[in-house]
Amino acid sequence: MKQQKISVTGLVAVLAALVGLAFYLVTTLTGYLTGSTPSPLVLVCSVAAVLLLAVLASGRTTGGVRDLVILAAGFCLIAGMIFFALGRTSLAADIYFIPVNYPASEETAFQLSLVGIAGYLVAILADLVAAFSADKD
């Protein structure tokens, strides 16, 4: 029986996507945005991406199935990041375009959101690296 090798880029992508999702949940459920409802689109896309990337990292897929998993994970990551960023545009508008009398917690929520979006970007880049890395069967 052939031993399966864990994909390092897949593992990095999983961890980065989990960081992005964690920061989304933290900024949505605590601090300035306490009481706001998390976007189901961000949650569904992020959880789907994490599951697909976990399958990729496990090394159980090869050939065309691996390519489809990478493609689907990339689409889910991009969609999750876009909806995350769109949900935070009001914070950016208050801080940078109307910089008068906004609470410090609003700026903290925005900065933490930027870290979460960066997590999604790292996951997308790791997914791209996995797409172009050699598929050794």
pLDDT digits (tens, 9 = 90+) for 85-131: 999 998 888 888 887 788 888 889 999 999 999 999 999 999 999 88
Local structure of 133: helix, strand or coil = coil
Residue 122 in any domain: the answer is yes
pLDDT, tens digit, 9 for 90 and up, residues 33-63: 888 899 999 999 999 999 999 998 888 888 8
Question: Per the structure, how many domains does the chain have?
Answer: 1
Q: What are phi and psi of 73, to 5 degrees?
A: -65, -40
Instruction: Please check whether residue 4 lies inside any domain of the structure.
Output: no
Q: Distance between CA atoms of 21 and 5, rounded to whole angstroms? A: 26
Q: Which domain holds residue 83?
A: 22-132
74 vs 63: CA distance, rounded Å: 17
Question: Do 105 and 16 contact (CB within 8 A), yes or no?
Answer: no
Please indicate, yes or no, if residue 42 is contained in any of the structural domains. Answer: yes
In a domain, 16, yes or no: no
pTM for the model: 0.90
Residue 17 resides in a domain: no
